[in-house]
Amino acid sequence: MSSVGGELRRPIAWLVEDNPRAIVETSSLLRRLRLSVVRIESQSDLLDKISELSYEMAPVVVVLDLRLPWADEKTLANNALAGGLDCLELLSRESVTQSIPVVVYSSAVYDDLILAAVRPFHPAAIVDKNDEGRLRSVLENMFPSSGVRRKTARLYAFLFETRVLRVARWVRAATAIGAAIAAVAKFAFG
């Protein structure tokens, strides 16, 4: 977290999405990762954000849907991903946003033509929108200091410790049983 005017500020994530359900679900995930979410739902909104953007207020990640209705009908009829690809191009051209990692999060990411169209923009990750767990995993790895990651790590440490202690009790019990058997054998055959 950074400080602005003595006030702590959460890192910012831009969510470029037009689907209301996806906005709610993805915003919730980003907030659980302790990121402030700035929703961008139109091309004019994106252009406004970029025009007023400074390095201090730049997002740490952009989560981008490829199917954005940000082009004219004829262009979208020929390529439903034209809006998302235009957004990627715009982000890669601007000096403030070109180094920000972009996670392409779309239901149309496993087609070879789509991957070829997206690859020149060097996205940080390409994630299928139908696999929310993968998006969470990618973002947790990008921001390892997030609260979700720490809680998960603590949970696994607790489970590991519990299992180690359980194994230690079994080893101790087996050792005691072995010592008892050796004592009986020594007495009986002794």
Q: Alpha-carbon distance 76 to 57, whole Å? A: 32
Tens place of pLDDT for every residue, the chain, 190 residues?
A: 544 444 456 789 999 998 888 899 999 989 988 899 999 988 888 888 988 888 778 899 999 988 887 777 777 667 777 788 888 888 888 888 888 899 988 776 667 777 788 888 888 888 888 777 888 888 888 876 654 444 555 555 555 666 666 777 787 888 888 888 888 888 888 6
| Cα 180 from chain centroid (whole Å) | 54
Contact at 8 Å (CB) between 156 and 164? no
pLDDT for res 153: 53
- Residue 63: predicted pLDDT: 92
**H/E/C letters for each residue in the chain?**
CEEECCEEECCEEEEECCCHHHHHHHHHHHHHCCCEEEEECCHHHHHHHHHCCCCCCCCCEEEECCCCCCCCHHHHHHCCCHHHHHHHHHHHHCCCCCCCCEEEEECCCCCHHHHHHHHHHCCCEEEECCCHHHHHHHHHHHCCCCHHHHHHHHHHHHHHHHHHHHHHHHHHHHHHHHHHHHHHHHHHHC
> Per the structure block, which two tokens stand in for 59?
């997002």
Q: What is the pLDDT of residue 7?
A: 47
Q: What is the pLDDT of residue 157?
A: 59
Tell me what pLDDT residue 164 has. 67
pLDDT at 3: 47
The pLDDT of residue 190: 67
CB 141 within 8 A of CB 101: no
pLDDT of residue 148: 47
Separation CA 40–CA 129 (nearest Å): 17
147 phi, psi to nearest 5 deg = -60, -35
How would you class 179 by CB atoms within 10 Å of its CB: exposed for 0-12, middle for 13-18, buried for 19 or more? exposed
Residue 96 neighbours by CB under 8 Å, 6+ apart: 50, 53, 54, 55, 58
Distance separating alpha carbons of residues 79 and 71, to the nearest angstrom:
10
